[in-house]
Amino acid sequence: MTYGTIQGRITDGETKQPLAGSTVMIRGTHLGANASADGEFTIHDVPVGSFALEVRLLGYESVVRTDVIVRSQRITVVNVDLREQAIELSEVSVAPSYFADTEDKPVGTTHLSREEIRRAAGSVGDISRVLMALPGVAKVNDTRTNLVVRGGSPMENSYYVDGMPVPNINHFPQQGSSGGALGLINVDFIEDAQFYTGGFSADFGDRLSSVTDITLREGNRDEFDGQLDLSVIGAGAQFEGPLADRGSWMIAGRRSYFDLIINQGDVEASTIPNYGDVQGKVAWDASAQHKLELLQILGLDHSRITKSQAVENRENTYGRGDWISTAGGIGWRWMWGKRGYSRTTFSQSRYGWDMKWLRAVNDSLIDAELVTESEWTLRNTEHLILSSAWRLDGGAEATLLDTDYDIVYGATHDAFGGDVPEVRVQATEQALKLGSFLSWQWRPALRWRITLGSRLDHFDYTSHTTVSPRAHVDFEWNTSTSFTAGWGIFRQSLPLVLLQQNPAFRDLTDPQADHFILGVRRLLSPNTQLSIEAFEKLYRHMPLDPSVPSSFVVDESYREGGFSGHTTLTDDGRAFSQGVEMLVQKKLATQLYGVISGSWSQIRYRGSDGVWRDRRYDNRFMATLEGGYKPNRSWEFSARWVFAGGAPYTPFDEEASVAAGEGVHDEQRVNAERLPAYHALDLRVDRRFYFRKTNLIVYLAGWNVYNRPNVAGYSWSEIDNRRTVSHQWGFLPAFGLEFEY
C-alpha cells in the first residue's frame, strides 16, 4: 500500500478569515485533523485513491468535498470555504451538503471542480466542451468551442481567470467573439469554475449572456512536483514547487504534434493545425493579510492550406492564418479584517490575427487581416460585512483598449446573391471603458436574502454612459428546498472590429438584454440535487444590416472568420429567448456520480423587414445523460450522451446557385428548415497506477462511438457547383497519459 497527504485551509466564505478548530474528516475512514489557528490542516498517511472530505464547525454549514484524489508521495491541497448557518436548526441533525458551494450564488449558476472537468467524457479536459453539455447551452458544432448560452451568440460571453478578465480562453480565437477550436487553459491548473448562464451580479458587465469565473490553484508549497502529458490534443509538461517558504510557483507547456506526424508520414491533409501554449502562476504571501498572485498565459496557433489541397479536398477556400493570444497580470488580495476583504487586479490581454484567405475557384480575395487587439484592465472589488443582516459588494474597473486594424473584406455577394462591395478597415484606435458596480445584500428575515445592485458604465469611443440595475431574491424554505428569482438589465458594447467599419457606427445604441429568471432547488439527498429554472431574455438595440433585411448581424460571430464587412447598420433589431431547464446532479458519494439535464427553449429575432424568425441557435429541445462509475481506486468508467433538436438553416435556391456558381440562399425561407437532430455517445475509461513514488493515469476515450452522421450544415461547393453536406465529428478515438513524479 502506498500513501499520500491531504492538506489545506478552512476559511470563512464571507470574510476569507481562517476558521480555527474546524474538524476535517475523510469519510469512510478514521483519518482526520483539526484546523490550526491559521485555518490550516494536514492529514498524513492517507491511502491512495479517491475520497470525500467532510468539514464541520459549530455555527457553520457542514460541507463535503468529493473527488479528493490522493496519490503516491504527493500532497493534495483542498481549500474549503464555510458559510454561516443560514436557517434554524431543528432537533434533527442536518446532513452536510455536497452542494454548499453554490447555495449563495445567483440563479443560473453551475459549479465545477477540477476533477469533474478533467474526467468528463468527450471533453479531453477542455472546460468549454464540458460547459457545452450543460442545460441552456445550444449544440452548435463539435469542431468549435462556441458557447451559445440561452440564445445568446458567442460574442455575448466573458471569462475571468483569478479575477482577471480574459476575452478568449481558446486556441484559434475568433475575432469579435469568445469562441475558438480548443481550450487554452491547462485543466490541471484549475481549482474550480463558476458558470453563470444568466442573472449574474453587477460585478460583471459588458456581456449579455454568460460569465465563466475560473479560479486557478496554487503550486505545491512543500515540494517539487513534475508531470508529463501525452494526449490526442498534444504533448506537454508541467512543474511546480515552493517559493522561499512563503509562496509557490507552477508552469506548464503544451504543443500539438499533428503537423510533425503529417510531415514525417507523407500524409495528405487539407489543413495542418499547429498550436502550442505556455502558462504559469506565482503565489506569494507578503504577510498574513496580503497575498500577491502573478499569472501569464500564452497561445500560438498556425493553419495553412494550399490551393491544390483545397481543390483536391473540394474546399472553397485556401490560404493561411496565424494567431497569438496572451493574457495575464498581477492580483493583490487584502484580508483587512473580520468585516471583509478586497481584491485588486491589473491585467493585460493581447490577441493578434495575421491571415489571408482566397477562393479556390478564381483566387479572389475573401479577406486579409493584420489585426492586434489589446486590453489593459485595472479592477478592484470590495466585500464588506456591515452586520449579520447586511452585506455590501462594490468596486470599479478601467479598461484601455488599444487596437490596430488593417483589414480588407473582398468584394463578394451576400447570402442571397446581392453585390457587396469591398470594405477596408484601416485604423489605429485607443479607447477607454470605465465601470463601477455596487451590490447590497439584505437578510430581512432568517430565510430570506435580497440582493440589489447596479452598474454604471462609460465607453468613450461611443460616448455612451449606461446604467444596468439588477435584483436577486432567495428564499430558503427549509434545509432542502430554496426558491430564487432574478431580474436584470445587461448591456454590451459592440466589438470594435464592427464599430470601426464605418464612423457612423459610433452612434449605434449598445445592445441590451433584460433577464427574467425563476428557479427552485431541491436536495433529493445530501449528494443529489434537483434544480429547475424558467427564463426569458428580451433583446433590444441589436445591430441590423438593411441591405440584408432578413439577417441578424451578431449571429455572424459563429463563423470561423468572425464578422463580415458592413457599410450600413441600424440598431433597431429585436430578439428574445425563453425556456425551461432541468438539472439533476449526483455528486460522487460512493461509487456513482451523474447528471441528467433537459431543456426546452424558443429563440427568435426580428430583422429589418419586420419579420420574426428562428435564430440559428434554436435547438428547441436538448437533453444530456452523463455519469460515471468508480468500482475501486484504480478504475473509472464514464459516459455522456447528448441530444439536441435540429438547428434552423436557410436552404439554397438551387437554380440560382447553379447559375451563379456559388451558394445563393432562398430569401423566402430564411431559417425555415431544420437540420436533422443531433445525438452522440461519448465513452471514457481511466486507469490509475500508483507506484511507490510516482503515479500514472492512462485513459482511452471514444467520441460519437456509434458514428452518428451529425450534420453541421449545408454548404455550396464552388468547385463542383453543387450542394454538399458538412458533417460534425464521426467516431473519433482519443487517448491520454499523465505521468506524475
pTM for this model (two decimals) = 0.91
For the chain, list the domains and their CATH numbers.
3-102 (2.60.40.1120), 109-740 (2.40.170.20)
3-state secondary structure of 387: coil
- DSSP, residue by residue, 21-84: T-EEEETTSS-EEE--TTSEEEEEEEESEEEEEEEE-TTB--EEEEEEEE-TT-EEE--EEE-B
Radius of gyration of the CA atoms of the chain, in A: 26
Name residue, grid cell 450522451: 641
Distance CA 129, CA 120 (A): 9
Q: Residue 480's pLDDT is what?
A: 86
Q: Collect all residues with Cβ–Cβ distance below 8 Å to 450 and sequence separation of at least 6.
A: 441, 442, 443, 444, 471, 472, 473, 474
CA neighbours within 13 Å on the CB side: how many for 160? 22
CB 546 within 8 A of CB 570: yes
Q: Residue 146's pLDDT is what?
A: 83
Q: Collect all residues with Cβ–Cβ distance below 8 Å to 93 and sequence separation of at least 6.
A: none
Report the relative pairing of strands 32-34 and 23-26 from DSSP bridges.
Answer: antiparallel
Q: Residue 142's pLDDT is what?
A: 82
* Amino acid found at 739: F
E strand or H helix at 690: strand 678-690
Buried b vs exposed e over 144-177: b needs ≥16 C-beta within 10 Å? bbbbbbbbbbbbbbbbbbbbbbbbbbbbbbbbbb
Q: Which among 80, 69, 67 is positioned nearest to 47, based on CA atoms?
A: 69
3-state secondary structure of 437: strand
Angle value at C-alpha 492, between 555 and 392, nearest 5 degrees: 140
Neighbours of 44 (CB within 10 A): 11
- Residue 311, phi-psi category: left (phi > 0), alpha (psi -120 to 50), beta (remainder): alpha
Q: Residue 355's pLDDT is what?
A: 93
Q: Residue 270's pLDDT is what?
A: 46
Counted residue by residue, the chain has a size of 741
CB 537 within 8 A of CB 408: no
* Amino acid found at 650: T
CB 641 within 8 A of CB 605: no
Q: Residue 280's pLDDT is what?
A: 97
Q: Which among 242, 252, 243, 301 is positioned nearest to 279, based on CA atoms?
A: 252
Q: Which among 237, 236, 218, 242 is positioned nearest to 226, based on CA atoms?
A: 237
Q: How far apart are the first and last CA of the chain?
A: 17
Q: Residue 268's pLDDT is what?
A: 42
Buried b vs exposed e over 470-508: b needs ≥16 C-beta within 10 Å? bbbbbebeebbebebebbbbbbbbbbbbbbbbbeebeeb
Q: Collect all residues with Cβ–Cβ distance below 8 Å to 90 and sequence separation of at least 6.
A: none
CB 240 within 8 A of CB 230: no
Question: In DSSP terms, which residues pair with 722 in a beta bridge?
Answer: 717
E strand or H helix at 114: helix 114-119
In which residue ranges of the chain is pLDDT below 50? 89-92, 102-104, 265-270, 560
Instruction: For residue range 282-312, list pLDDT tens digits in order.
Output: 999 999 899 999 999 999 999 989 999 889 8
What cell does 166 get? 480574459
